[in-house]
Amino acid sequence: MRTEVRICFDGNDIPGGAQAVLGPARCGPDVATVDDEPVLGRLDVWVTVEGTDPRLPVLLQLLRDHRASWLERRKDYYTDEELDRAQLIIMRNRGENDVFGGPRLGTCYDMEGACATCGAGARQTSALFIDGEDIPRLEGLRATSTYYSDILVDEALAEALAGIGATGLSFRAVYAVMPDKRQLKLRWRQLCAAHTLPPMSPRSTGIERRDACTSCGRSGFFTKMDDPPRLVYRPRDIAQSEDVNLTWEWFEDWNFDGNVSEALFSYPWFLVTPKVMRVFRDAGVTAFDWLPIRVEDDSA
């Protein structure tokens, strides 16, 4: 695994300009880009380096010396060997061609057993409905996701996934709701998972509870920009896992007053086995980041 770090600061914050820190930190054009023109008074400077690059601590110290603030993004990349060896892999959508879908488009959910406060545990009972205005975004794709991590695959990819005998998955039809309310069946399928894992180990990092539901504690998990998600599960908790699973934790914002047709639900992440990941990657799908979990006993 390697971790890529991206630093962004305002060159106008530095007396003498961006080069006054880039020069001494030896960050040349191989790792640094400086905007040509200021935007709203900011002259953004981006530096992208490996987490182990010795120039990184030097650059950050220089920024501190100048009392400049900066944004820091960290992202993990895993080798093919690491991914193939993983027991489960987070399938994290990259948000590049997401479409709008879910309860507000008419998708139905069974709320029996779901949290009455936040809706976590809502069980989808109908086809997936997406916004017809987003149909052009599907053009040329084999797989994508709604903003809420409902995974969409084209028919051939659905067949390929069914063909490898993967466990724990099923497919639902996908309809687009057109501006005139007509429902148009699409040549796409929603990938659904039957199994929900137990809560992850507290040894997991890069995940925070920011807006936790006070009733169930299950909604309102978020990732951090400067600390990539590294999930840890105890061996016993993944003993019953399938090829496609959902996290117990539900991520991102929620807004629910009991009316499903207006609900914004948090959503679980998909955790899949390498053989499922391979079907997506072999199909040339680039919509997802693949992040292996770590399996570790935390009783010791």
> Which residue ranges make up the site for Zn ion (CB under 5 A)?
115, 117-118, 120, 213, 215-216
What DSSP character marks residue 246? E
Instruction: Please give the Cα distance from 231 to 202 (Å, whole number).
Output: 9
Instruction: Please give the Cα distance from 257 to 265 (Å, whole number).
Output: 11
> For Zn ion, which is the closer residue by CB, 32 or 200?
200
Q: How far is the CB of 234 from Zn ion (least distance, A)?
A: 23
Of the candidates 167, 150, 165, the residue with the CA atom closest to the CA atom of residue 101: 150
Of the candidates 272, 242, 278, the residue with the CA atom closest to the CA atom of residue 157: 278
> For Zn ion, which is the closer residue by CB, 58 or 212?
212
Q: How far is the CB of 252 from Zn ion (least distance, A)?
A: 14
> For Zn ion, which is the closer residue by CB, 116 or 164?
116
Of the candidates 207, 227, 209, the residue with the CA atom closest to the CA atom of residue 218: 209
> For Zn ion, which is the closer residue by CB, 118 or 207?
118
> For Zn ion, which is the closer residue by CB, 248 or 270?
248
- Measured in degrees and rounded to the nearest 5, phi and psi for residue 72 equal -130, 125
> For Zn ion, which is the closer residue by CB, 135 or 216?
216
Instruction: Please give the Cα distance from 8 to 42 (Å, whole number).
Output: 11
Q: How far is the CB of 262 from Zn ion (least distance, A)?
A: 17
Q: How far is the CB of 221 from Zn ion (least distance, A)?
A: 12
Q: Is 254 exposed, middle or buried (0-12, 13-18, 19+ CB in 10 A)?
A: buried
SS3 call for 110:
strand
Q: How far is the CB of 117 from Zn ion (least distance, A)?
A: 4
Instruction: Please give the Cα distance from 233 to 246 (Å, whole number).
Output: 13
Q: How far is the CB of 116 from Zn ion (least distance, A)?
A: 8
